[in-house]
A and B are shown apart, each in its own frame.
Chain A
Amino acid sequence: MLRIDNISKTFNPGTVNEKVALKNLSLDLKDGDFATIVGSNGAGKSTMFNAIAGTFIVDEGNIYLDGDDITFKKEHVRSKVIGHLFQDPLKGTAPSMTIEENMALAYLRASNSSNRMFSRIKQSDKKAFREKLAMLDMGLEDRMKQPVGLLSGGQRQALTLLMATFVTPKLLLLDEHTAALDPATAEKVLDLTKSIVAERGITCLMVTHNMHQALEVGNRTLMMNAGQIVFDTCGAEREKLTVSDLLEKFKVGAGEELDNDRVLLS
């Protein structure tokens, strides 16, 4: 489904701030794979996501999605088939627009969207939005005319998740999307994520700092360090792995401890 072939990215090349963020990174994700990603701060996890989503064009290498070479495709073109959620719950929605307007924009990713350019939100659209929102169990279906800016961070992130998967994406990128939420909300959003991804068999990559999550959610675990994937496990090997094994792997792969302040062991 997703094939990353030897990509590299250096920020600010030739200056004192030069930073190699991705170094000959390769990855092959199968259709329906749900891989979690761990790695210390600055390992290049977000940069890899941005490379896939098209925020910038990689310096070297190629990226293929579902057989298509998307290496030089623009971000807004890729986003038709790639959903991208960030740690900051404010990033994924337009605050001064209403819930239903935000959802209508998400619906644009449906392939026939160019015919919809001059159509307004229809009654049938509203019904569909309402049904989707009811799934969140947050009462948002009764607040469809309210600006999104009035919602809490957790509600906004849940809405963003709903919007990103409204039209089923080929690939879903979750960049610590629950890290900024309070524990109860984070759990709710994670449960929602798991059920949506499972229900529709979406191919998914999720960055997390929670080691248990990294091993229990999805079917594959990747570990990144210094712009490379240093450990990749799935299947029976992954099932046997414990959190302490994972931390040990990190020491071996990276030659250093995973930064403790951000790692969650519970």
Chain B
Amino acid sequence: MSSIITVSIFQSALELGLMYALVALALFISFTILNIADLTTDGCFTLGCAVGAIVTLSGHPFLGIIAAMISGACAGFVTALLQTKFGVESILAGIIVNTALYTVNIFIMTSQVSIFGVDTIFSLAKDSFLQQFFGDWYKVVILVVIVGLIALALWWFLGTTLGMSIRATGDNAEMVKSSSINPTFTITVGLCLANSLTALSGVLIAQYQKSADINIGTGMVTIALASLIIGQSLIGNKGSTLRRVIGTIAGSVLYRFIVAVALRLSVPAEALKLVSAMIVAVAIALPYVRKKAALKKREFANYRENKSGREEKNA
């Protein structure tokens, strides 16, 4: 066992899990709360990487984070605009923006960018008291702080009047309109917020890996959905908002553990996307298949009953 899970694997899974948890939280907002499949995610993640990397390269790691989040919010805004003001189907709106972002991302960073010779939040932390205190765990510590703050802020926000309006929009759209809430506004705010978190995840990953490439976001939406679903099965999708937010983060961390163990067991890295896709497909299909199976069972019981009835009559 000790050969499968070493401390350093545990540590890096925790680091990655915390960073990618922000994408899972983004989908928690768009997919779970707003009930919109927002496919801007992949391109938006790369956008966050690209914008963040370029600004970081110019010597401003914190500004890079802010710039990335703003760029993500802009991407979310365009997706929201297409679906609320121009009647584009929500899934299609995400796909369109995702495609457009490919070109935008190429413009920003060409196909690849490396972040060397400049500060990142991680290198700054390394040089600070954090490393003296926590040794190798300093990255985990700042990520816990960042993700913890985001989680708290999200929980607080979702309990405000605006946050509640956003939740109601996904819960009962008709009720929302008749409560004087403008669904166009709530959808827009929700998607901007979600995509700014996706982009934040992107810039953190870029600073962490000290590099970014144009394909870094490919499949991100599926991976994040898998994390979200794992989190929901850990904690259940009922319960207080805080519980669900924490569950989502836990899901992402657990997902990264599963990946780390799989890699350790020599599962090829290319297989991971297939596995994530299967987790998502199965988890979403399961309730439906269960219902179908129950129906078939009833149908079969009914058929047997009729048959035995007929046989009795014949006898």
A residues within 8 Å of B by Cβ?
53, 74-77, 79-80, 83-84, 90-97, 101-102, 104-106, 108-109, 113, 116-121, 147, 163-164
Contacts A117-B160, A119-B160, A120-B156; is A109 near B180 (CB within 8 Å)?
yes
- B172 proximity list for chain A (CB < 8 A): 90-91, 93-95
- A83 proximity list for chain B (CB < 8 A): 178
B residues within 8 Å of A by Cβ?
156, 159-162, 164-165, 167-168, 171-172, 174-183, 238
- B171 proximity list for chain A (CB < 8 A): 94-97
Task: Check A104 against B177 for contact (C-beta < 8 Å).
Answer: no
Task: Check A97 against B182 for contact (C-beta < 8 Å).
Answer: no
Q: Which of A75, A113, A119, A120 contacts B178 (CB 8 A)?
A: A75
Once bound together, how far apart are the Cα atoms of A83 and B156, in whole Å? Answer: 29
Closest CB in chain B relative to A155 CB, distance in Å: 16
Closest to B183 in A: A76
Task: Check B175 against A91 for contact (C-beta < 8 Å).
Answer: yes
Task: Check A105 against B178 for contact (C-beta < 8 Å).
Answer: no
Task: Check B167 against A120 for contact (C-beta < 8 Å).
Answer: no
Contacts A95-B171, A95-B172, A97-B167; is A118 near B162 (CB within 8 Å)?
yes
- A105 proximity list for chain B (CB < 8 A): 161, 164-165, 168, 176, 179, 181
Closest to A105 in B: B179
Task: Check B177 against A76 for contact (C-beta < 8 Å).
Answer: yes
Closest CB in chain B relative to A48 CB, distance in Å: 16
Closest to A86 in B: B174
- A84 proximity list for chain B (CB < 8 A): 178
Task: Check A120 against B159 for contact (C-beta < 8 Å).
Answer: yes
Closest to B157 in A: A118
Task: Check B159 against A121 for contact (C-beta < 8 Å).
Answer: yes
- B161 proximity list for chain A (CB < 8 A): 104-105, 108, 113, 116-120
- A94 proximity list for chain B (CB < 8 A): 167-168, 171-172, 175-176
Having A92-B178, A119-B161, A120-B156, one finds 9 other A-B pairs with CB under 8 Å, namely A76-B176, A93-B175, A94-B172, A101-B167, A102-B168, A105-B168, A118-B161, A147-B238, A163-B179
Closest CB in chain A relative to B101 CB, distance in Å: 30
Interface centre among A96, A119, A164 (most CB of B within 10 A): A96
- B175 proximity list for chain A (CB < 8 A): 91-94
- A106 proximity list for chain B (CB < 8 A): 179
- A120 proximity list for chain B (CB < 8 A): 156, 159-161
Contacts A94-B175, A97-B167; is A118 near B182 (CB within 8 Å)?
no
Task: Check B181 against A76 for contact (C-beta < 8 Å).
Answer: yes
- A101 proximity list for chain B (CB < 8 A): 164, 167
Once bound together, how far apart are the Cα atoms of A64 and B182, in whole Å? Answer: 21
Closest CB in chain B relative to A253 CB, distance in Å: 31
Interface centre among A79, A93, A119 (most CB of B within 10 A): A79
Closest CB in chain A relative to B164 CB, distance in Å: 5
- A163 proximity list for chain B (CB < 8 A): 179
